[in-house]
Chains A and B, each alone.
Chain A
Amino acid sequence: MATKRNLFNTVWDLHKVGTLESGQDQLFIGLHLIHEVTSPQAFQMLEERGLTVLHPERTFATVDHIVPTASQERPFKDRLAEEMMQAIENNTARHDIEFFGLRTDHQGIVHIIGPELGLTQPGMTIACGDSHTSTHGAFGAIAFGIGTSQIRDVLATQTMALSRPKVRKINVTGTLQPGVYAKDIILRIIAELGVNGGIGYAYEYNGEAIHQLSMEERMTICNMSIEGGARVGYVNPDEKTYEYLLGRRYAPRGENFERAVQFWSEIASGEDAEYDDVFELDANTLKPMVTWGITPGQAISVDDRMPDPDRLPEEQRDIAVKALEHMGFAEGDRIRGKKIDVAFLGSCTNGRISDLREAARIVQGKKVARSVRAFVVPGSKQVSMQAEREGLPRIFQDAGFEWRGAGCSMCLAMNPDKLEGREISASSSNRNFVGRQGSPSGRTLLMSPAMVAAAAIAGEVVDVREQIADLQPVG
């Protein structure tokens, strides 16, 4: 265990209620976020036991997974989706939980609205029934994805039973080159450390390359920690964090804000903080990354070829063979030049305003390839409204993209947005698992939003670095 304390251990200790007989710690959860898919059974369990919500003021709700993005008129055409919608409306009303529903200006993907509202703050513990809860770690919070039984625990007690993980510092030095993004950093980290390399660890992303990133880019990195097996990923708070939070609805105000900054700066890992493990990555040499397979770890640089499974470490072979078979690719194929059918811009990984701005910069004045259906799903109503103020929908629509309402959409295809048959998508989302985008035989290539935009125009995977040099800002 580290003695010179890192942020993770400081925040953990601050929230520790005690140690349970099982040996786990009982950890207080400062912010609990819920959505329509994983919470109804938890409310049902509470009611079966005659329990109430202990601190309803620390739980906030929205709807994201099942909401249609073409028309959000009620009742939804999908009867099951409508039923889930009604369940969360009823549960939040009955238990006095603030609900950012479709009629509010703050509906959106749960991991996008938390930061937007200033709910997500440094030094907090955050839990949500969604594995991408690690996103909130970008603010120096420690944020856990949890299952439904744990949602029940958090609702009933505002705490949960957890074992303290080890902490691995991922030190990213250097500076990203134009056309290379936060998404490429995290895809490279997962490719290097493996999809199970983070089991038992929290990841602290540190180093100059990380602190040069905007808050939104940091969220992209923390978001995909779980794809590397790490349940928690975080960045120490700095001036950019404080600046982002200032003036947001739930952020501290006035003198409170000054005191908050003091507290936030004190919890950050110091120069001499100790870790259970350290991993180094050089951002200078990073290139755009694209997945070729069926796990987020199966990613290569855009100018690389797909691996020969026989030459991979033993534990990666079986899944590499399966991947090539599912994708219809062969060892030695280049990823560059692979044709796509669908381009999806959105998700909790890359559905924020900076993602859409960068993609708009690529597509401005161009046309989506005839064979490609392309659409943009802003991560939240706020992202959508801001995009409208900047004229982004027009740029996308002129290029042939559809502009949709906010939600998770084709990241996991619980709404009508799905791949069909063996369609292949260029996707700014986080998972390329078999069937993830709604068709059991569908195929997903994960990449940065700029790379998705460039692929939509070309109709195939291209290297966005070759286009980025000549571009102008949008507008």
Chain B
Amino acid sequence: MTEIKKAIKQITGRGMIVPGNDIDTDQIIPARYMKVVTFDGLGEYAFYDLRYDEQGNPKKHPFNEPRFAGASILLVNRNFGCGSSREHAPQALMRAGIAAVVGESFAEIFAGNCTAMGVPTVTLEGAAIQALTKIVDADPTVEMTLDLPSSTISCDGREFPFAMHPSYRSALIAGSWDSTSVLLSNVEKIESLVKRLPYLNGFAHG
């Protein structure tokens, strides 16, 4: 079996600001673009209905702004990625070049999906995200570095300590974020649990 293991410790890149609370995964990728049997090619549909009008003309959206072209770190606000569990949403973002998401808070399934793809989701307090957003807004060419071992983002000579789900952080640093092989290494324990679970054993007690 192919071993997929890639430690993710540092991500450096330019920021892109997608402001607003409660941005749901239907916004990130409209359902009609999920009629596919592979994730390839989803990148072009990221935020599609916010980027294009019903005739296909571009609208004002960060993903259409030339100043953010090539950015890899997404700056967002509260409850980003809420709603549908569709992994198509973070897959679309990743395939559009996003390598990390920095926000005030994330919906749980979204954050889990990102981690399983090797994309860190880290949280900053409201004031810190505002300060970071201000720096990027003033100069989108400025680079920032997200450092997982020290849990800080450094940008423009400033340091922003971030919070992150501790197990997501350690899985990314250890390169065990692609969990299949880790889980499968415990197959004997899995099978022994199968023999104990009441509903798989006729509810026999004892």
Contacts and interface: CB of A to CB of B under 8 A. Distances in A.
A195 interface: yes
Contact of A159 (B30, B105, B171, B190): B190
A435 B35 contact: no
A213 interface: no
B165 interface: yes
Contacts of B149: none
B49 to A, nearest CB: 4
A397 B13 CA distance: 58
Given A23-B167, A157-B183, A157-B187, A121 B32 contact: no
Interface string B22-35: 10101100111011
A158 interface: yes
B180 interface: yes
Given A24-B171, A149-B87, A259-B202, A433 B24 contact: yes
A150 interface: yes
Contacts of B165: 163
Contacts of A295: 22, 24, 82
B38 interface: yes
A17 interface: yes
Contacts of A413: 31-32
A354 to B, nearest CB: 25
A81 B34 CA distance: 10
Given A131-B85, A259-B205, A21 B176 contact: yes
6 contacts: A38-B85, A66-B35, A148-B91, A199-B79, A260-B198, A435-B27
Interface in B107-164: 107-109, 112-113, 116-117
B200 A30 contact: yes
Interface stretch (A105-113, A214-222, A388-396, A436-444): A436-444
Given A15-B197, A44-B37, A435-B27, A21 B108 contact: no
Given A84-B36, A431-B24, 8 more contacts: A22-B167, A28-B197, A40-B38, A49-B4, A147-B85, A153-B183, A252-B203, A414-B35
Interface in A149-166: 149-150, 152-153, 156-161, 163, 165
Contacts of B39: 41, 148
Nearest to A91: B37
Contacts of B10: none
Contacts of A199: 79, 105-108
A286 interface: no
A446 to B, nearest CB: 13
A279 interface: no
Contacts of A48: 2
A319 B22 contact: yes
B176 A229 contact: no
B57 interface: no
Contacts of B186: 17-18, 26, 157, 159
Interface stretch (A50-58, A176-184, A356-364, A398-406): A50-58
Contacts of A150: 112-113, 116
Given A28-B193, A49-B2, A229-B79, A414 B32 contact: yes
Q: Pick the most buried of A49, A149, A260: most chain B CB atoms within 10 A of its CB.
A: A149
A303 interface: no
B60 interface: no
A431 B83 contact: yes
Contact of B87 (A49, A147, A441): A147
A146 B110 CA distance: 9
Contact of B35 (A26, A80, A133, A441): A80
Interface string B167-206: 1101100101011101110110110011001111011110
B78 A315 contact: yes
What's the interface size class on B, roughly?
35 or more
Contacts of A54: 187, 190
A150 B114 CA distance: 11
A130 B84 CA distance: 7
A87 interface: yes
A172 interface: no
A431 B30 CA distance: 13
Contacts of B22: 195-196, 295, 319
B108 to A, nearest CB: 5
Q: Pick the most buried of B87, B174, B204: most chain A CB atoms within 10 A of its CB.
A: B87
Contact of B199 (A152, A160, A231, A260): A260
Contacts of B205: 259, 262-263
A434 interface: yes
A412 interface: yes
A26 B183 contact: yes
Contacts of A233: none
B20 interface: yes
Interface in A431-473: 431, 433-436, 438, 440-441
B82 A121 contact: no
Contact of A38 (B86, B179, B189, B202): B86
A212 to B, nearest CB: 27
Given A22-B174, A54-B190, A259-B203, A434 B109 contact: no
Contacts of B86: 37-38, 147
B204 A147 contact: no
B166 interface: yes
Interface in B51-104: 54, 78-79, 82-88, 90-91
A4 interface: no
A338 to B, nearest CB: 22
Contacts of A174: none
